[in-house]
Amino acid sequence: MYIVSDEVQRSEDITITDEKQIIFSSTKKPEIIRWLLQKGFHESFIEDIQSEEQGIVYEESENFKLLVLKIFRRSEEDLLLYVDINAVIIITENKLFFLCDERDVVQRVVARFRRRYKKGDSIPYASYTLLDILIDWTMNIIDLIDDKLEIIEDQIFSEEFDEKEIQKSLYFARRSLNKISKTSVLENDVINKLYNHLPTAVRKKLRFEFIDLKEHLSFLIHESRSYLDRTGYLQNLIMGIMSNRMNKTMQRLTGITLIFLPLTFIVGNYGMNFKYMPELSWRYGYAFVWVLNIVIAIAIYLWLRRKRWI
């Protein structure tokens, strides 16, 4: 799909030559598979890079270094749900392959790579650049999740919020952060293996670049776990607020019941069928009971307001 080199900046047709090339394409591109096999790339490696179930791994043969990493993209199901897809990096003496079956991901990666690539960059340095782009990609996702969690926290403290929708978003956020945390740990191991298998001269030259990669991965591991704790805090906060609102509702219902309890008692007394009840023959008995009920209700209401029950 794309070739970046000192001579060619972009190409839709892949022509693999003996010169230095950095190639961005699909894992199923026939020209690439054929070239790899001709150069001694093991057939089991082909199965690894084409399998969607392949985990993060580092493999090495005489002429090739193979890294299978993960790159995250947003799912259509929710803004906080990110799914991982394979991102394959193959390094040879004068070739660097980035292979991914999602065309839009390849386009975005190659666009970022072209902005950073300089004429004369070696294959090891270009490999570092590509790894840095992939890690920065995940760091941007962490920042997006952070921004979304800020919005959710503000929504929780608003008067009205959709508890079901927020709980759903937090659930997806936890899934995404858990994946990012586990992936970052494994990718840290893979990058350590790659660095340790580079020639001594290259390791010395790229020492600080790979230290930078490790620091970014450490940041991802720490931040993803921190935000996992934060989502748990937000879930507990929602439950606390909902419980508090339920308690207030029950308190109001109890207050209303308390107001009508003595009134019910009075009405119950005058509903009894006794022959000798003086108030029944009193001219102002009906009005008196009404006034008595209203005074009692107002008194209890004022008392409950003072106690902040209603």
CATH number at residue 27: 3.30.460.20
Give mean pLDDT, residues 193-199. 92
Domain coverage including residue 77: 2-244
Q: Is the pLDDT of residue 187 over 80?
A: yes
Q: What percent of the chain has pLDDT over 90?
A: 40
Please state at what angle helix 285-306 crosses helix 207-270, rounded to 10 degrees: 160
d(CA 237, CA 240): 5
Last residue of some domain: 207, 222, 244? 244
The model's confidence at residue 45, banded by pLDDT at 50, 70 and 90, is confident
Q: Which helix (H) or strand (E) holds 65?
A: strand 65-74
User: How many folded domains does the chain comprise?
Assistant: 2
Rg of the chain's alpha carbons, rounded to an integer?
A: 35
pLDDT at 126: 93
d(CA 8, CA 110): 13
| Beta carbons of 148 and 79 less than 8 angstroms apart | yes
DSSP 76: S
Whether residue 230 is found in the same domain as residue 266: no
Residue 15 or residue 130, greater confidence: 130
Residue 205 or residue 292, greater confidence: 205
Whether residue 216 is found in the same domain as residue 158: yes
Whether residue 238 is found in the same domain as residue 257: no
- Token pair of 222 as six digits: 């720490």
Give mean pLDDT, residues 158-171. 83
Whether residue 51 is found in the same domain as residue 192: yes
pLDDT at 208: 94
Looking up residue 294, the CATH number of its domain turns out to be 1.20.58.340
Whether residue 69 is found in the same domain as residue 201: yes
d(CA 308, CA 302): 10
Pairing of strands 21-25, 95-99: parallel
Q: List, for residues 91-136, the tens digit of each pLDDT value.
A: 998 899 999 999 899 999 998 998 888 888 899 999 999 999 999 9
68 strand-pairing partners: 57, 88
Residue 237 or residue 85, greater confidence: 85
Q: Which helix (H) or strand (E) holds 98?
A: strand 95-99
Q: List, for residues 65-93, the tens digit of each pLDDT value.
A: 999 999 999 988 888 999 999 999 999 98
> Phi and psi (nearest 5°) for 22?
-120, 115
User: Cα torsion for 66, 68, 69, 72, to the nearest 10°?
Assistant: 140
Q: Is the pLDDT of residue 241 over 90?
A: no
The answer to whether the pTM exceeds 0.85 is: no
Give mean pLDDT, residues 275-293. 76
Whether residue 93 is found in the same domain as residue 235: yes
Q: Is the pLDDT of residue 38 over 60?
A: yes
